[in-house]
Copies of this chain bind each other. A is one copy, B any other.
Amino acid sequence: MASRPSLTQVAEQVGVSPATVSRAFNRPELLNAATRERILSTAKRLGFRPNKVGSSLRSGSTRTLGLLLPTLANPVFAACFEGAEMAALDAGYSVMLATTGYDSERERLAARSLLDHRVEGLILTVADPADSATLGELGSSGVPFVLAYNESDCHPCVSVDNRAAAADMVSHLAAQGHRQLAMISGPLAASDRAVHRLAGAMACAETLGLPPPIHVSMSRHTAADRGRLKELLAAPQPPSALFCSNDLLAAAVIAELATLGLRVPDDISVCGFDGMDFGALMVPSLASVHQPSTDIGKHACRELLAALAGRPSRSRRLPHWLFDGGTITAPGSP
């Protein structure tokens, strides 16, 4: 009921100037201990909390960061948020989250809205940093930003080395005896990660003298996808292992294979990329290239905060590692 009193009201209650009340909260050491206590106690009594809107306007700083992610339906991004939130909180910042659903128009609009709210910096994942309207607008806005998951030479970014990571997985599969692989991804236009992972897999296969992996792009859980999978397996040289460019997709593929009567890994090996927590709970557990999503969020946030503090933010390449789950086995086991 008692709609929040203002600093001024507290001031006149106590009988001091607004400036003094402000100082009681921001520079308490400047005040006479007695006045400070007097102010703090009546502030509490009245239920006063400093209004950040006023404060932001005057100080020019909102202490808010923007986070722009494709979707929270992918636990990877959810983890990224939590990492970023943690780091932001530690620094006294709040975060304003928006999702784009992989839609570039929504992305542009959301970024604009975030800027309108005067976030001091932005962490975001775009389809392709080399060609992004959003990044263009952002650049000319002067608001610092850090890319998460994307890899770029021209912008600060925090990610794993997607090419190397994919190559590692291909090596691992080859070591198990697999030769013909397939790489399954979503639409490449929606994710530079998928592009890099595919490139890494291809390059590694070539180095190892494997036949080039077959690339299959699944649109969005349409019936056509099911057909494409069937077709892939009916090829003259069907792959013995499916490398999916993300864990969610891997899970979907495994489920799809099950409906086709194929068992993983007995009939075919499958692996993913991301390392979502959930993969470890699957039975068998999902083999996958793990990336430290929480840390990606955390470090992206730290770099952003660094930029806000004047230090330039540097790109960080975080380590990935293979999780050798039960969905991979040597080809042709009983």
A254 at the interface (CB under 8 A from B): yes
Q: A65-95 interface mask toward B, CB cutoff 8 Å, 1 = contact, 0 = none?
A: 0000001110100110110010000000011
A115 within 8 A of B: yes
* Contact bitstring A50-68, B, C-beta under 8 A = 1, else 0: 1111101100001010000
Question: Is A116 on the interface with B (CB-CB < 8 A)?
Answer: yes
Q: Are the CB atoms of B73 and A281 closer together than 8 Å?
A: no
Q: Which B residues lie within 8 Å of A334 (CB)?
A: none
Q: Do B99 and A94 have beta carbons less than 8 Å apart? A: no
Closest to A256 in B: B281
Which B residues are in CB contact (< 8 Å) with A97? 81, 85, 95-97
Nearest first, the 7 A-B pairs at minimum CB distance are A72-B78, A251-B281, A255-B281, A97-B97, A258-B283, A53-B56, A53-B57
Whether the pair B53, A118 counts as a contact (CB closer than 8 A) is: yes
Check A49/B116 contact, CB under 8 A, given A4-B141, A75-B78, A85-B99: yes
Partner of A116 from the list B50, B96, B255, B277 (CB cut-off 8 Å) is B50
Interface residues of A (CB under 8 A from B): 1-4, 47, 49-54, 56-57, 62, 64, 71-73, 75, 78-79, 81-82, 85, 94-99, 112-118, 140-142, 251-252, 254-255, 258, 264, 277-278, 280-283, 285
Q: How far is the CB of A190 from chain B (nearest CB, A)?
A: 17
Q: Of the candidates B49, B50, B72, which one forms a contact with A82 in the assembled complex, judged by CB atoms under 8 Å apart?
A: B72
Bound Cα distance A61, B97 (Å): 19
**From A71, A79, A98, A285, residue with most partner B Cβ within 10 Å:** A98
User: For the complex formed by this chain, how many copies does it contain in all?
Assistant: 2
Q: Of B64, B277, B283, which one neighbours A254 at CB under 8 angstroms?
A: B283
Q: Once bound together, how far apart are the Cα atoms of A112 and B53, in whole Å?
A: 14
By a CB distance below 8 angstroms, the chain B residues around A283 are 254-255, 258, 264, 282-283
Q: Do A2 and B78 contact each other (CB < 8 Å), given the known contacts A62-B53, A116-B50, A255-B282? A: no
Bound CA–CA A4/B120 (angstroms): 12
A99 to B89, CA, bound (A): 11
Q: How long is the Cα–Cα vector from A81 to B117 in the complex, in angstroms?
A: 19
Distance, CA A54 to CA B56, complexed state (A): 9
Query: In the bound complex, do residue A73 and residue B64 qualify as a contact, i.e. CB atoms below 8 Å apart?
Result: no
CB-CB < 8 A to A140: which residues of B?
1-2, 47
Could you tell me if B62 and A73 are in contact, using CB atoms closer than 8 angstroms?
no
